[in-house]
Chains A and B, each alone.
Chain A
Amino acid sequence: MTAGDRPLDRDEWVDGNEAAGILQEIFTMDITTARGRCAGCGRVAPMAETRVYDHAPGLVVRCPDCDAVLLTVIRAPDRAFLATTGLTYLEVALPESATSGFTGA
Chain B
Amino acid sequence: MAIVTRGFTGRGRRDVNLPPGQYLTEDFPVLSAGPTPRPNLDKWQFTVTSETGQRFGWTWPELRALPSETVTVDLHCVTRWSKLGTHWEGVSVDTLLADVDTAADFAMVHAYGGYTTNLPLADLLDGQAWVAYRYDGEELDPEHGGPARLLVPHLYLWKSAKWVRGIELMHEDSPGFWESAGYHNYGDPWREQRYSGD
Contacts and interface: CB of A to CB of B under 8 A. Distances in A.
Interface of A: 1-8, 10, 12, 53, 55-58, 60, 62, 67, 69, 72, 74, 76, 79-81, 83, 85
B181 A3 contact: no
A15 to B, nearest CB: 15
Given A12-B32, A76-B195, A81-B195, A58 B182 contact: yes
Given A8-B143, A74-B182, 20 more contacts: A3-B41, A5-B37, A7-B37, A7-B38, A8-B35, A8-B36, A10-B36, A56-B33, A57-B77, A57-B183, A58-B178, A62-B34, A67-B34, A72-B182, A74-B181, A74-B183, A76-B182, A81-B196, A83-B182, A85-B181
Contacts of A80: 182
- Give the interface residue-count category, chain B: 20 to 34
Contact of A12 (B36, B42, B180, B194): B36
Contacts of A57: 31, 33, 77-79, 158, 178, 183
Interface of B: 29-43, 77-79, 142-143, 147, 158, 178, 180-183, 194-196
Majority SS at the chain B contact face: loop
Contacts of A74: 178, 181-183, 195
A62 B32 CA distance: 12
Contact of A7 (B31, B35, B194): B35
Given A3-B40, A5-B43, A60 B196 contact: no
